[in-house]
Structure 1
Amino acid sequence: MSKKILIIEDQAPMRRNVALMLELEGYKTCTAENGRVGVEVARQEKPDLVLCDVMMPELDGYGVVQALREDDNFANTPFIFLTAKSDRSDVRIGMNFGADDYLTKPVVRDDLLAAVQTRLARAEALQERMAESGGFNPDFTSHEPLQKAFSLTPREAEVLLWVTQGKSNGDVAAILGMSEKTAKQHLGTCFQKMGVESRNAASLQALEVLSAR
């Protein structure tokens, strides 16, 4: 069965162009012209992957990914930002909110297809592992399993443990008695050691470790 992809983009020519590129590869598409409509369409259509512009009226891309990640139905749905901004700080903000990847506009066909295929494949693999294990049943009582699994320092492992429970950098800083900047730095080091680029990807790997019997 062909996968369904939601494209949330306020520029109609870009929206049509991306949809056409995907449809020519056999994907089903649905579209939305702004973030607010995009969240509604996502809940109606339940897409397998979301492509979303960052800068939009009514609700920007950061607001969209936050709204969807708060819904259990979209906790693991691949989310790719489309951004005209090449500034790494904008990309990192998106990753911290729960995006899995980003593409810089104008989107190159090969880059688009590669990103979509990679993220869908990872999502399928995750679903299979969850089905085999009966879902995650993590033990959050100790950070030590994370420390050992990813060669983290005790402090880095503590930060990752709280992030995996859905805490923001500000929350983690308050809980562990550090500055938000320090919490962010520790998390960035965790990403490097784990070979991931987003909070979502790091959390999924951590959940696997914490759920191991």
Structure 2
Amino acid sequence: MSSAFGGGTDIEEEEDFRSRVLLAWQGDGENGKKQDYIDWALAVPGVTRAWVNPLGFGAGTVVVYPMLDDANASGGGFPNGTDGASASDTRYATATGDQLDIANALYQSQPVDALVIVCAPVAQPVDFTIADLGTGNTVANQTLIKAALTDMFLRLSAPGGTIHPNNWDEALSALNLSTFSVSEPTGPVTGANA
């Protein structure tokens, strides 16, 4: 004896199936791609920014550069400690301090064959000479200029990254200064790698 079947769903249309599968492939999960390391670092309490250099110290290595802008504000946001790997990874010198906390957290998620080295970014002061401010050369405007350039560096700087003159021109133009000219630096500024 047979009875009517209840429940279930209609057969999925081919185009709906195709769209669903393509979306699944695009969101390929966490597998050790560059963005995964950034996300894993940002999940560590205190880390506000992070950059990744795949193969930074050669084949099989991944170098992560974290910043702790709020937690280490008195030190410019730079990590306190020594660069290195997780205490669980015996293939490289063990990090200390903030770098160790971050390396240990990353070790839980990273692919088993990756040698992840957490390094503090290298501080790289950049001197600016701004001229032609005319009557706008006031202490208030100097404070605004310093704040605008600091914000620009926070948003755009990265180990090995380049900031171009149009970036600081844009930051200063937003201040509505009547006139200004930047005579130093004379060209793009490229960040150092640790």
TM range (shorter): under 0.3
Query: What TM-score does the superposition give when structure 1 sets the normalisation length?
Result: 0.20
Q: Counting helix residues as a fraction of each chain, which structure ranks higher?
A: 1
TM-score (norm 2): 0.22
Q: Larger radius of gyration, structure 1 or 2?
A: 2
